[in-house]
């Protein structure tokens, strides 16, 4: 399992603490330093069963500068969103855990982390 984190994020730190408490085997990816490619973002979206706008932090300053709240949220705009996430990784919701069964979860709660552990 892999967890995408920003170490400055309290939700990320909580998720890592819970993984450690449960004795989970996982890899940490500091996604602001090791930025996911567009293909990796597509793969995670497929695993999550979500669209890029579903995992975009629209309240971030960069999101406001880009005006993402005004962007279309449809199949025609999907690649624009993915490109923005790859170019501005701070906009990616966190933490994201890719589970061993090929799925993924946005692990912002303890329950979501436990869900990933159970897969």
Residues identified as active-site:
9
Q: Tell me, what DSSP letter sits at residue 29?
A: E
- Measured in Å, how far apart are the chain's first and last C-alpha atoms? 10
What is the Cα–Cα distance from 100 to 91, expressed in whole angstroms? 25
Whether 103 contacts 5, CB under 8 Å: no
* Three-state SS at 83: helix
Strands (E), the chain: 2-5, 27-30, 96-98, 104-106
């Amino acid at each position: 399992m892999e967890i995408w984190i920003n170490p400055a994020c309290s939700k990320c730190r909580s998720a890592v603490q819970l993984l450690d408490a449960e004795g989970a085997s996982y890899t940490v990816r500091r996604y602001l330093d090791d930025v996911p490619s567009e293909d990796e973002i597509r793969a995670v979206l497929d695993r999550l069963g979500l669209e890029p706008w579903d995992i975009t932090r629209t309240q971030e300053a960069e999101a406001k500068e880009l005006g993402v709240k005004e962007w279309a949220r449809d199949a025609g705009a999907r690649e624009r969103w993915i490109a923005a996430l790859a170019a501005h990784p701070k906009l990616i919701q966190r933490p994201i855990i890719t589970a061993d069964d090929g799925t993924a979860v946005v692990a912002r709660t303890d329950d979501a982390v436990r869900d990933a552990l159970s897969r």
